[in-house]
Amino acid sequence: TSLGSRLDLEELLFGDILSIAPADVWEIGFITLAVLVSVKVFYKELLFFTFDPLGAEAIGLPVTGMNVGLTAAITLTIVANIKAVGFILVVALMVSPAAAAYLLTRELHWMMIIGAGLGVFSCLMGMYISYYVNTPSGPAIALTLFACFLLALLFSPSQGILTRRRG
């Protein structure tokens, strides 16, 4: 390409987490740190803006800037991680832990903590399974993410299919 890098379709879709370059690790780490610090510093504003943008605008929060910042953070996270793990796993890592955490709690800060924990757990467990079963790591991580979501869907204290009160 004109930008001096070549990324074929298979690599774009599936990535290869085991062949990630040290520069990519630093890039992902920097973006992760920047996003985490931003969320920590602007947590209350982001919470208000996310659930009531009109109310946030009414009290004078810079809604347009917050929207641009949130979109930029999500975009940077996706772009940085596509090189490492591929588009399919990026989508799975963004959706599955959040969906499972949503089933397990109703408080946003706990959703963020549980979602991050499930994401890390799924990556580590998927890599472990991948190593010992001799399978590609991406699908192993995706299946681990799905298993976590399925367990949350079945056994969530308030919304679980198997734990709902009948009546």
List the structure tokens of 14.
């599936």
What integer is the mean pLDDT of 128-141?
92
The whole-number average pLDDT for the span 39-51 is: 92
pTM for the complete prediction? 0.83
Domain locations along the chain: 14-155
DSSP string, 129-154: HHHHHT--HHHHHHHHHHHHHHHHHH
Q: Which pLDDT band holds residue 166 (cuts at 50, 70, 90)?
A: low
Give percent of the chain with pLDDT exceeding 70: 94
pLDDT tens for 85-125 read 889 999 999 999 999 999 999 999 999 999 999 999 999 99
